[in-house]
Amino acid sequence: MNWQTIESNWNQIKGKVKERWGRISDDQLNSIAGKRDQLVAAVQQAYGIPRDEADRQVMEWEKTGDRIFGAGAPAEREKELRRKVG
């Protein structure tokens, strides 16, 4: 899943982020607003880990994409349908 999709569907996705990294506060999730670098920083801070480890965790989470979010986030599915229709 790409970050444009994550950012545009952040309100639906942040619950999954909270499941994965439960130490990140709701206020932090709201301020992250789907920005990857801010998520990495929040993971780093919440878990007291080096930035490269936080980045690795976020990268692994990204790879799970469709498995976590079903067939893709709603906005992404809509864009794909529009491309196919014309």
Give the C-alpha distances (Å, rounded to integers) separating 55 from 36, 42, 51, 73, 83: 9, 10, 6, 22, 32
DSSP state of 34: T
Q: Is the pLDDT of residue 73 over 50?
A: no
CATH code of residue 71: 1.10.1470.10
Reported as a single tens digit per residue, the pLDDT across 14-68 is 999 999 999 999 999 999 999 999 999 999 999 999 999 999 999 999 888 756 5
Number of H helices, E strands in the chain: 6, 0
- The domain of 55 spans 3-85
Number of domains in the chain: 1
